[in-house]
Amino acid sequence: MLVGEKSPATLNPLPPPAMASEHPDAPKQFGIRLSDEVMGMVSAIQEHRKQTSQPLTLSAVVEDAIRCHYNRLVREGAIHEQ
């Protein structure tokens, strides 16, 4: 690249990552089918995470959801913390 020449990344910036519900394989990710209602919830969570600079991936959302559910079950005494 020559001095003063624009970087290809500047000329053609990458689009922002898509929300989970916009992905063509969204209902099949991780080998499970998610209803349209749940995919809407995931997209709303991802939008909030985007605004708060948190990871947007479906796996990050799932990990946090599992952690929250696990902690609730521990607090309720339904399971014992590992």
DSSP output for 15-33: PPPPPGGGSTTGGGGGG--
**Which pLDDT score is estimated for 9?**
54
Closest alpha carbon to 65 in 44, 78, 52: 44
Q: Tokens representing 43?
A: 């997209």
| pLDDT band with cut points at 50, 70 and 90 for residue 58 | confident
Kindly report the pTM of this predicted structure: 0.58
